Amino acid sequence: MTIKIDPKAIDALTNFTLPTEIGFGKTIVPIMAVTDYKDGVWSPLELLPYAPIVMDPTCKVLHYGQEIFEGMKAYHVEEKGPYLFRPMMNAKRFNLSAQRMAMPDIPEELYMEAVRSVVEYSTDFIPTKSGESLYLRPFMIATENSLGIKPSDSYKFMVIASPSGSYFKNEALKVLIEREFIRASPGGMGYAKTGGNYAGSLISAKKARDLGYEQTLWLDGLEKKYIEEMSGMNFFAVIDGKIVTPTIQDTILDGITRNSLITIAKDLGYEVSEEKFEIEKLLSSIEDGSCTECFACGTAAIITPIGLFGDCTNNTWEVKNPIGPVSSKLKETLLALQEGRLEDKHEWRMEVK
Ligand code: COI
Mutate to test the pocket of ligand 1, among 233, 234, 302 (most ligand atoms within 8 A of CB): 233
Same domain, 30 and 147: yes
Chosen domain end from 164, 188, 208: 164
Q: Does ligand 1 lie within 6 Å of residue 300's CB atom? A: yes
Residues 153 and 181 in one domain: no
C-beta 322 within 6 A of ligand 1? no
Task: Name every residue whose Cβ is closer than 8 Å to that of residue 57 and which is 6 or more positions away in sequence.
Answer: none
Same domain, 139 and 73: yes
d(CA 42, CA 220): 38
Report the chain's mean pLDDT, rounded to a whole number: 97
Closest Cα to atom 7, ligand 1: which residue? 232
Q: Which of 164, 194, 220 is the last residue of a domain?
A: 164
Confidence of residue 78 (pLDDT cuts 50, 70, 90): very high
Please tell me the distance between residue 299's alpha carbon and the centre of ligand 1 in angstroms: 6
Please tell me the predicted confidence (pLDDT) of residue 353: 86
Q: Is the CB of 117 under 6 A from ligand 1?
A: no
Q: What pLDDT score does 48 carry?
A: 98
| Structural domain includes residue 127 | yes
52: DSSP letter = P
Q: What is the model's pLDDT at position 352?
A: 98
Q: Which atom of ligand 1 is nearest to the CA of 255?
A: 2
Q: How confident is the model at residue 137 (pLDDT cuts 50, 70, 90)?
A: very high
Residue closest via CA to ligand 1's atom 3 equals 71
Q: Is residue 211 located within the same domain as residue 119?
A: no
Taking CA atoms, 87 is separated from 73, 277, 299, in Å, by 9, 29, 12
Mean pLDDT to the nearest integer, 84-97 = 98
Which pLDDT score is estimated for 24? 95
**C-alpha 213 – ligand 1 centre gap (Å):** 19
Answer yes or no: do 160 and 201 share one domain: no
Looking at the structure, do residues 128 and 71 belong to the same domain, yes or no? yes
pLDDT beyond 90 at 107? yes
**Relative to the CA of 232, which ligand 1 atom is closest?**
6
Residue 346 belongs to a domain: no
Cα three-residue angle 55-96-62, rounded to 5 degrees: 20
Q: What is the CATH number of the domain that holds 243?
A: 3.20.10.10
Say if residue 97 is in the same domain as residue 25. yes
Residues 100 and 226 in one domain: no
| Residue 33 located in a structural domain | yes
Confidence at residue 34, expressed as pLDDT on a 0 to 100 scale: 98
Write down which residue in 164, 192, 220 finishes a domain: 164
The pLDDT of residue 62 is above 90: yes
Q: What is the pLDDT of residue 324?
A: 95
d(Cα 287, Cα 276) in Å, to the nearest integer? 20
Question: Is residue 299 within 6 Å of ligand 1 at its C-beta?
Answer: yes
Q: Measure the CA–CA gap between 351 and 74, rounded to whole angstroms.
A: 9
Express as a percent the part of the chain with pLDDT over 90. Answer: 96
Residue in 150, 152, 140 with CA at minimum distance from that of residue 59? 152
Question: In this structure, which amino acid lies at residue 171?
Answer: E
Query: What's CA 316's distance to the chain center, in Å?
Result: 28
Does residue 32 share a domain with residue 158? yes
71 within ligand 1 shell (Cβ under 6 A):
yes
CA distances from 124 to 21, 47, 82 (A): 17, 17, 10
113 Cβ contact partners less than 8 Å away, ≥ 6 residues apart: 1, 2, 3, 33, 45
pLDDT band, residue 71 (cuts 50/70/90) = very high
**Distance between alpha carbon 282 and the CA centroid of its chain, in Å?**
24
Domain holding 44, by residue range, is 4-164
Q: Is residue 118 part of a domain?
A: yes
- At 276, give phi and psi (nearest 5°): -70, 115
Please give the Cα distance from 329 to 304 (Å, whole number): 12
Other Cβ atoms within 10 Å of 245 Cβ, number: 24
Q: What is the pLDDT of residues 149-202, one digit of tens each?
A: 999 999 999 999 999 998 998 789 999 999 999 999 999 999 999 999 999 999
pLDDT at 163: 97
pLDDT (tens digit, 9 = 90+) per residue, 277-333?
999 999 999 999 999 999 999 999 999 999 999 998 889 999 988 999 999 999 999
Within a domain: residue 344?
no
C-alpha span between 28 and 162 (Å, rounded):
4
DSSP labels, 157-221 = EEEEEEEE--S-SSSSEEEEEESS--S--TTSSTTS--HHHHHTTHHHHHHHHHTT-SEEEEB-T
Question: Cα(50)–Cα(98) distance, rounded to whole angstroms?
Answer: 24
- Residue 65's CATH number: 3.30.470.10
pLDDT for 1 beyond 90: no
d(CA 292, CA 307): 10
Distance 306 CA to ligand 1 centre (A): 17
CA of 302 to the centre of ligand 1 (A): 10
Are 47 and 135 in the same domain?
yes
Peptide linkage before 104 cis (omega within 30 of 0): no
Q: Total domain count for the chain?
A: 2
Q: Are residues 10 and 77 in the same domain?
A: yes
Beta pairing, strands 72-75 & 83-85: antiparallel
Q: For the residues 229-251, what does the mean pLDDT come to?
A: 97
State residue 314's pLDDT score.
Answer: 87
Distance 232 CA to ligand 1 centre (A): 5
Residue 334 domain flag: yes
345 lies in some domain: no
Residue 316 lies in a domain: yes
Residues 154 and 241 grouped into a single domain = no
Average pLDDT over residues 249-271: 98
Q: For residues 104 and 84, what is the distance between their CA atoms, to the nearest angstrom?
A: 24
Q: Is the pLDDT of residue 29 over 80?
A: yes
pLDDT at 319: 97
